[in-house]
Chain A
């Protein structure tokens, strides 16, 4: 073979290799996940229901938390705005681990209960939590059915502090839905998170949760989950436990949950002056009950707030 032909063959082969490698690059960049497989920065690419690009907030790279805010707490609900009661309490899923340790929150007008919201949409219900005046964090599957053949949820409405048959703070429709490509394209449960941008600023009244990320393990931190389980008639129920296992992209706990709890905050009260977040602060978004394999088979799990997720959540919060 002539030298130039050999060189051409090497160049062609190298280009082919580069192309093939670039096709798998999203699955192996950043956010390394040695215990649970590699992950990809591009899977954290923000996606919105109306195509609006997410502008990352300048300076966010130096921020690790945002504190909670209690709001005015003044009730604004109108009984005419309440949902029709369910015909019957719904059945739940098998995510009660051991004894059922859930307890009802009643009334729901205290803080942070009023910042926990029932989310309704065509064909289903979820939970979410305000983390700004007009933004609600939730599971990705509560805003999009997931995968490239999935679709955004329709007629999404948020009911902060909903309590049985009353809506003490009324309800708000969705201005925009947010998630990331790891959910909307790949339907990867490790990327199952999103947000609802509201057409109102009810957070100024209800207050909102803080949220934070940390590189260190979260195992051993106390965890509380509050939301709207399907086996209760649109009442808010909570469960306390602690983080049992920390994975780079997920947290595992034995707080009792039931279908409908998806999107609930996994949170704790952090004293003033704490590292990172102070007040009622979320560290994960609940998404799954028990299923195959350890640690999934003995724990419920939520999508962990990491640095890149904090950046996305903040970008969605700060967007107009």
Chain B
């Protein structure tokens, strides 16, 4: 009897948790890229071996459905270094300097890990 009562209660609780989980049919992933579903892309932007500062670096998702990526601008520092926190998945990292574009680099972002992508002009 005791086992029956406990089992029933636990089943009801688990059912309740599932029902109340904050999801919906039209927005299956309200979380942007929070731990542990996100990873980091970092690297340097270099022109003839020299760091390029104040250049924006953009990730282009190579998978669908496209994730929510905040519309902030990520720019390189004085050493040409940048950091993007992104939902797990595959991306093409790009940078542009005037009419010139850096050689794009495709990376796979793994949750909780950091991947390096240097962009070269």
Interface residues of A (CB under 8 A from B): 1, 5-6, 9-10, 12-14, 16-17, 20-21, 24, 27-28, 33, 35-40, 84, 86-88, 90-93, 95, 122-126, 139, 141-142, 145-150, 186-190, 192, 230, 257-263, 286-296, 300
Decide: B69 and A291 in contact? CB cutoff 8 A.
yes
Decide: B68 and A296 in contact? CB cutoff 8 A.
yes
Q: How near does chain A come to B69, taking the closest CB pair, in angstroms? A: 7
Write out the residue numbers on chain B whose beta carbons fall within 8 Å of the beta carbon of A91: 56, 58, 94-96
Write out the residue numbers on chain A whose beta carbons fall within 8 Å of the beta carbon of B10: 13, 16-17
Decide: A139 and B24 in contact? CB cutoff 8 A.
no
Q: How near does chain B come to A55, taking the closest CB pair, in angstroms? A: 28
Bound together, the chains give a CA A142 to CA B73 distance in angstroms of: 9
Which one, B53, B56, B65, B71, contacts A257 given CB within 8 A?
Answer: B71
Write out the residue numbers on chain B whose beta carbons fall within 8 Å of the beta carbon of A146: 32-34, 85
Write out the residue numbers on chain B whose beta carbons fall within 8 Å of the beta carbon of A147: 33-35, 38
B75, CB-defined interface residue at 8 Å: yes
B115, CB-defined interface residue at 8 Å: no
25 A/B residue pairs, CB under 8 Å, sorted by A: A5-B2, A6-B1, A6-B2, A16-B13, A17-B10, A17-B12, A21-B16, A27-B22, A33-B24, A35-B24, A86-B75, A87-B54, A90-B73, A91-B58, A91-B96, A93-B58, A93-B69, A124-B74, A126-B72, A188-B30, A192-B70, A260-B56, A288-B68, A292-B66, A293-B65
Write out the residue numbers on chain A whose beta carbons fall within 8 Å of the beta carbon of B22: 27-28, 33, 37-40, 188
Write out the residue numbers on chain B whose beta carbons fall within 8 Å of the beta carbon of A287: 70-71
Q: How near does chain A come to B43, taking the closest CB pair, in angstroms? A: 12
Q: How near does chain B come to A197, taking the closest CB pair, in angstroms? A: 19
Write out the residue numbers on chain A whose beta carbons fall within 8 Å of the beta carbon of B91: none
> Digit string of B37-74 for contact with A (CB within 8 Å is 1, else 0)?
01000000000000011111010000011111111111
Decide: A190 and B30 in contact? CB cutoff 8 A.
yes
Which one, A37, A92, A123, A125, contacts B83 given CB within 8 A?
Answer: A123
- Closest residue of chain A to B96 (Cβ to Cβ) is A91
Q: How near does chain B come to A119, taking the closest CB pair, in angstroms? A: 9
Q: How near does chain B come to A75, taking the closest CB pair, in angstroms? A: 25
Write out the residue numbers on chain B whose beta carbons fall within 8 Å of the beta carbon of A294: 26
Write out the residue numbers on chain B whose beta carbons fall within 8 Å of the beta carbon of A188: 22, 30-32, 34
- Closest residue of chain A to B66 (Cβ to Cβ) is A291
- Closest residue of chain B to A93 (Cβ to Cβ) is B71
Bound together, the chains give a CA A91 to CA B21 distance in angstroms of: 38
Bound together, the chains give a CA A203 to CA B8 distance in angstroms of: 59
Bound together, the chains give a CA A178 to CA B64 distance in angstroms of: 33
Given that A37-B30, A145-B85, A189-B31 are known contacts, is A230 also in contact with B17, CB under 8 Å in the complex?
Answer: no
Write out the residue numbers on chain A whose beta carbons fall within 8 Å of the beta carbon of B70: 139, 141, 192, 262, 287-288
Given that A37-B22, A148-B34 are known contacts, is A296 also in contact with B27, CB under 8 Å in the complex?
Answer: yes
Decide: A186 and B34 in contact? CB cutoff 8 A.
yes
Write out the residue numbers on chain B whose beta carbons fall within 8 Å of the beta carbon of A12: 6
Known: A33-B24, A88-B96, A189-B31. 11 other contacts (CB 8 A): A13-B5, A20-B14, A21-B16, A37-B22, A87-B52, A95-B71, A123-B77, A149-B34, A150-B85, A188-B31, A257-B71
Bound together, the chains give a CA A105 to CA B25 distance in angstroms of: 40
- Closest residue of chain B to A12 (Cβ to Cβ) is B6
Write out the residue numbers on chain B whose beta carbons fall within 8 Å of the beta carbon of A142: 72
